[in-house]
Amino acid sequence: MFGKKRTPEQLEKIRQRKLRIYDIVFENDTPEGKAFDVFLMICIVVSIFLVVAESTLHVDAVGAMILRILEYAFTAFFTIEYLLRLYCSPKPRDYALSFFGIIDLLATLPLYIAWLFGPARYLMIIRTFRLIRVFRIFKLFSFLDEGYALIHALMDSMKKISVFFLFVLIMVISIGTLMYMIEGNVPESSFNDIPSSIYWAIVTLTTVGYGDITPVTSAGRFLSALVMLLGYTTIAVPTGIVSANLIKTKDSPYKRVCENCGTTGHDPNAKYCKHCGTLLDVNPQDHD
Amino acid sequence: MFGKKRTPEQLEKIRQRKLRIYDIVFENDTPEGKAFDVFLMICIVVSIFLVVAESTLHVDAVGAMILRILEYAFTAFFTIEYLLRLYCSPKPRDYALSFFGIIDLLATLPLYIAWLFGPARYLMIIRTFRLIRVFRIFKLFSFLDEGYALIHALMDSMKKISVFFLFVLIMVISIGTLMYMIEGNVPESSFNDIPSSIYWAIVTLTTVGYGDITPVTSAGRFLSALVMLLGYTTIAVPTGIVSANLIKTKDSPYKRVCENCGTTGHDPNAKYCKHCGTLLDVNPQDHD
Amino acid sequence: MFGKKRTPEQLEKIRQRKLRIYDIVFENDTPEGKAFDVFLMICIVVSIFLVVAESTLHVDAVGAMILRILEYAFTAFFTIEYLLRLYCSPKPRDYALSFFGIIDLLATLPLYIAWLFGPARYLMIIRTFRLIRVFRIFKLFSFLDEGYALIHALMDSMKKISVFFLFVLIMVISIGTLMYMIEGNVPESSFNDIPSSIYWAIVTLTTVGYGDITPVTSAGRFLSALVMLLGYTTIAVPTGIVSANLIKTKDSPYKRVCENCGTTGHDPNAKYCKHCGTLLDVNPQDHD
Amino acid sequence: MFGKKRTPEQLEKIRQRKLRIYDIVFENDTPEGKAFDVFLMICIVVSIFLVVAESTLHVDAVGAMILRILEYAFTAFFTIEYLLRLYCSPKPRDYALSFFGIIDLLATLPLYIAWLFGPARYLMIIRTFRLIRVFRIFKLFSFLDEGYALIHALMDSMKKISVFFLFVLIMVISIGTLMYMIEGNVPESSFNDIPSSIYWAIVTLTTVGYGDITPVTSAGRFLSALVMLLGYTTIAVPTGIVSANLIKTKDSPYKRVCENCGTTGHDPNAKYCKHCGTLLDVNPQDHD
């Protein structure tokens, strides 16, 4: 796009190289592509494991050194992977702005930001950027057709579920305030303010029931019992919504994924990705 | 209706003005109507937020002054809104007695009652009247067709669910008493009386499980385990009821709302609101 | 049946009287029948309320006297009611052995047993017999057609659910023992024996989660997490069973109840109660 | 197979004896087969009960002696049973490698391993092998047709459910790390490391809610509330999956079990077990 002119032969060579890299980095139907996927998966899992393990162990100087070197290695690998994907993608911009593109970028950032700001306290927060890398595991869904049905049943239900959550929010604020009125002045009670009471209402309505905040008066326990029975009934609503959508999407054509940006949900007769315009695979129902 | 005679021109002018106000206050298809809705929404959310925030903060004299002024402003706005709705409603009485009419009235009352009784301790209770204002958010359902399907699936299930709750009540009283018989005399147990035991039975049966009251004897734990398994099974009943109704109401004509009183559930071929007689919109399925 | 011979006129008179009593005691389509039902209901509710209240209050001599007199009154009323039902029932034996017949008998016993054994400590246990009277409330289901659909959806699922419970029992014993192996020797842990561990497994699997027994080691918490995810999945099984049956029994002829013994579930074309042989009402679908 | 030659008469005699033993040990349609099944069941239940009871009681020398003798008796019986099954099975190798074959073998091992290693501390672990014997109870499913529908609804859902669990795992790691970032440095909080936080996330997401680890800051409680509402929604996914499969498998031919290795799920027109090749019963739908 920029820089000196290239002969058609050079362009063709570049196109060929891009395609080869594309086959390795994005596809998994060649041995190289499969090997790359497996290696990437291992890197993701190990890097996550290291972050989790770091929080439990008190490492000595040598251990800290090893962890740092591994950190450098993973960051280097994830950076190269991101640049390759960007390079070989037919529409690099669409990849960069896609869900997986952002995840891939965020996976490389923590160490660079750490270098920028020095080994400060807040690095802990930066380090978690790597965890977002974990969502890469969604790529596994491309192997599992059921995964799409599941995610789309949830996605399709989103509007209904957000209405339901609005409804729950109103209930929870009302119930929390009511409880605060009843037990707010009882010394041995933990209902110290309305936010705590709303937190209690959510804990109760979702039947989690930690028991860190519990009513101590008869009136409070009576309201509690009503809230529990309410939660018992309302638990049916999202279940019903998702179940209905799950049955609906059973034979839906959600199995096609754009290989450039990972977008799904294309119409059965769509030939190009609706998000980035990449040519789609033929309908899997035709050659399955 | 009352007072001096008016010429037909005057009446027509009043009717026109009423219609204009109606379009702003009740409808949301004009720019003014939308602006009014948005402003109302902000007032509701801010006034709720203030009540919640008040419970957590220890405000100084200046803060208390600001809160009081905001309180006056909101009450004034909600009062004007209520009077306008009452004025422009074709059937004011039906509006006043409708669900939203009562909510609108209650939203204005707290401050007036506070003035009547002086700045007493019990104002905390009065202040919560404003929270009922929160249910105004149900008006949002008119924008979201799914909302009606949800509420009506719950409403239609009410009779069955109340039978189920009667059933639960009987179980809970029996189980609670049984538990009181087993652990009532154990010193380290918290089953001090039957109401506490019934509260425990509800906490257990709904799988909330606070853990503030738990059995300590073997017999008590055995009964506990049985109750949990019972709760595990009975949780299926309301789920089944609501799910069945949710599937049933999928293509139902519950989308039409009376613009005067907010009543829903009109028959597909109904032309007038079954509650207040206001002319209904044509079936939304026709012009959607 | 026993004693001196009676003329046909006398027998007819007795039959007429029996029928009149039957209409009051068993039926509710006459004003007397309805009044009797309402009075009975009030007696049941009040007598239950007294038992519950007694456990919370420390009554003085006068209060104890009032409670005792009320006790005598309720026992007398329930005894008369039981004898009347036995007298006017076309097949007294079948009534006496039916579910409601046994409930009715048990409701009268507590005081008599108390007289037999003197005011001993164990009276508390005897007193609960009265609570079984609470199940009389099931009679309300005869007014509510939905009640039968609900109970029968549960009853029809019983065989499947008992298989499921056997499955749960095996899981729970295995998991409990596994947990006991992991945390049985940890001093700060509460997994002191296998029954406690099984109790914990049920508490966890049903998502009740009291928190009175919780794992403290990493291995214990890992097993815990697995059990929770297992419980999350298995919760679907009874829901699916009951839901399926609830849909199935939607239009089933379970609405007919035998007026003598309360048996339900008669075939649509059945003319006599399959348990006691009493003539059944015509199918309610015909005159509803 | 090995050893000296046998005349056809001897072979026929052996075949007859094997068949007779087979009828007793594997079948339950003869009186001897039924008696054997009942006795086996009692042995299983009693041996499990003994292990459970041992953990609660402090037995004296005589009690320990009795327990040991019972142990010897059960091990002897289970060993003979295993050898008989191996002997009379048409394809002993397939039986030995089948699910029930492994269970049967494991049920005999604990005592032998104990003899090998001496009465060491770790015997507790060995003793639990016997509990695996408990899964023998699955044999009961052959009496209960519903059992197969249940297990197969779960089995068929396995692939989908494992995708769902992968999804849950990703969520739980992300949420746990987020919570560790928020409350990791709060002194009175229990979020000491990421594994503990992940454990908390699972406890919350599955609505178990022990309350052993709970957030104490406002930010932590806010995240908690979000996780609960997320759990409230995601609980619907496995329910939907299993329910759908349960409806699907309603009229499926899963009722046939191979009598040699216990394999199920044979095609309706299958004549031989797909796992070990044993001749299958005719379709039970034909002679039920």
Q: Could D170 and A135 be called an inter-chain contact, meaning their C-beta atoms sit closer than 8 Å? A: yes
Confidence (pLDDT) at C175:
87
pLDDT at B252: 41
Contacts of B203 in chain A (CB under 8 A): 209, 224-225, 228
- What is the C-alpha separation between D105 and D91, in angstroms, rounded? 16
Least confident range from A200-204, A279-283, B284-288, D27-31: namely B284-288
Q: Please judge whether A244 and B246 are an interchain contact, meaning their C-beta atoms are less than 8 angstroms apart.
A: yes
Chain C contact partners (≥3 CB pairs within 8 A)? A, B, D
Higher pLDDT, C116 or B250: C116
ipTM of the shown complex: 0.72
**Per the CB < 8 Å rule, is C48 touching B244?**
no
Alpha helices in chain D (DSSP H): 8-25, 31-56, 61-88, 92-97, 99-117, 123-127, 129-132, 145-183, 194-205, 218-234, 236-248, 284-287
User: What are the pLDDT digits (tens) for A245-278?
Assistant: 665 554 443 445 565 665 555 544 455 665 566 6
Phi, psi of A83 (to 5 degrees): -65, -40
Amino acid identity, residue B78?
F
pLDDT of A53 above 80 = no
Q: Quick check: D207 and B210 CB within 8 A?
A: no
Q: Which residues of B touch A240 (CB under 8 A)?
A: 153, 239, 242-243, 246-247
Region A33-44: mean pLDDT is: 83
Query: Is it the case that residue D251 has pLDDT exceeding 50?
Result: no
pLDDT value for D214 = 92
pTM of the complete model? 0.76
Which range (C84-93, D227-236, D263-272) has the least confidence?
A: D263-272
Question: With contacts defined as CB-CB under 8 Å, which chain C residues touch D55?
Answer: 180, 184, 193-195
Label residue A236 by pLDDT band (50, 70, 90).
low
Cβ contact C55–B237 (<8 Å): no
| Residue B65 burial (C-beta neighbours within 10 Å; 0-12, 13-18, 19+) | exposed
Q: Quick one: average pLDDT of B193-218?
A: 90
User: Cα(C215)–Cα(C232) distance, rounded to whole angstroms?
Assistant: 19
User: Under DSSP, is residue C35 helix (H, G, I), strand (E, B) or coil?
Assistant: helix
- Answer whether A244 sits within 8 Å of B243, measured CB to CB: yes
Check residues B263 and A39 and name the one with the higher pLDDT: A39
Cβ of B212 within 8 Å of Cβ of A211? The answer is yes
* Distance to chain A for D267, nearest Cα, Å: 23
Identity of residue C23: D
Q: How far apart are CA B113 and CA C98, in angstroms?
A: 58
Task: Report the residue of chain B nearest D56, measured CA to CA.
Answer: B218
Residues of D in contact with C231 (CB under 8 A): 206, 208
Residue of C181, C200, C213, C237 to mutate for D, most D C-beta atoms under 10 A: C237
Q: Locate tokens 């990449």: which residue?
A: A278
Q: pLDDT for A142-152, tens place per residue?
A: 445 555 566 66
Tokens describing residue D89: 């099975």
Nearest CA-CA partner of C29 in C149, C133, C142, C151: C142
Q: Do residues A282 and A116 touch, judged by C-beta distance below 8 A?
A: no
State the CB neighbour count (10 A cutoff) for residue A114: 17
Q: Which is more confidently placed, D97 or B110?
A: D97
Q: What's the rounded mean pLDDT across residues A169-192?
A: 84
Give partners of D (≥3 CB pairs < 8 A): A, B, C
Given pLDDT bands bounded at 50, 70 and 90, which one contains residue A231?
Answer: confident
Place of tokens 């979020």: D191
pLDDT tens per residue, range D178-212: 888 788 778 888 888 888 999 999 999 988 999 99
The listed range with the strongest mean pLDDT (A36-45, A110-119, B219-228) is B219-228
Measure D220 CA to nearest chain B CA, in Å: 16
**pLDDT tens digits, residue range B121-147?**
555 555 555 555 555 555 555 445 555
Chosen for mutation from B50, B133, B199 (greatest number of chain A CBs closer than 10 Å) is B199
Q: Which of C99, C93, C43 is nearest to C73 (CA)?
A: C43
Nearest CB to D211 within list B207, B211, B239: B211
Interface test with B, best of C52, C122, C134 (most B CBs within 10 A): C52
Does residue A139 or residue D276 have the better pLDDT? D276
Q: Which residue has the higher pLDDT, A196 or B37?
A: A196
Query: How far is the C-alpha of C228 from the C-alpha of A182, rounded, in Å?
Result: 34
C-alpha distances in angstroms, C218 versus A57, C212, C223, C230, D195? 13, 18, 9, 18, 8
Which pLDDT belongs to residue C251? Answer: 41
Chains with 3 or more CB pairs under 8 A to chain B: A, C, D
Q: What is the pLDDT of residue D201?
A: 93
* pLDDT tens digits for range C220-243: 999 999 999 888 777 667 666 666
Query: Average pLDDT in the B83-93 region?
Result: 89
Which residues are CB-neighbours of D47 under 8 A, at least 6 positions away? D70, D74, D130, D133
Distance CA D248, CA B44 (A): 48
> Which of A279-288, C28-37, D215-224 is the least confident region?
A279-288
pLDDT of residue C68: 81
pLDDT at site C25:
83
Cα(C137)–Cα(B82) distance, integer angstroms:
45
Long-range contacts of C32-38 (CB under 8 A, 24+ apart): C37/C139
pLDDT (average), residues D129-154: 56
Q: Distance from D209 to chain A by nearest Cα, in Å?
A: 5
Q: What is the mean pLDDT of chain A?
A: 74
Q: By C-alpha distance, which of A184, B229, D45, D159 is closest to C203?
A: B229
| CB burial readout C169-181, b (16+ within 10 A) else e | bbbbbbbbbbbbb
- Using CA atoms of B32, B38, B44, B50 in order, give the dihedral in degrees to the nearest 10: -120
Q: Which residues of chain C have pLDDT under 50?
A: 1, 142-143, 250-255, 268-269, 283-288
Residues of D in contact with B207 (CB under 8 A): 207
D279 — phi, psi (to 5°)? -65, 130
Collapsing DSSP to helix, strand or coil, A23 comes out as helix
* Residues in chain B closer than 8 A to A221 (CB atoms): 195-196, 199
Identify whether the C-beta of residue A151 lies closer than 8 Å to the C-beta of residue A242: no
Q: For C279, list phi and psi in degrees, rounded to 5.
A: -65, 130
State residue A255's pLDDT score. 46
Give the one of A198, A225, A237 whose C-beta lies nearest to B150's C-beta: A237
Task: Give the per-residue pLDDT at C284.
Answer: 42
DSSP per position, C175-202: HHHHHHHHHTT-TT----SHHHHHHHHH
- State the Cα–Cα distance between residues B96 and B261, nearest whole angstrom: 8
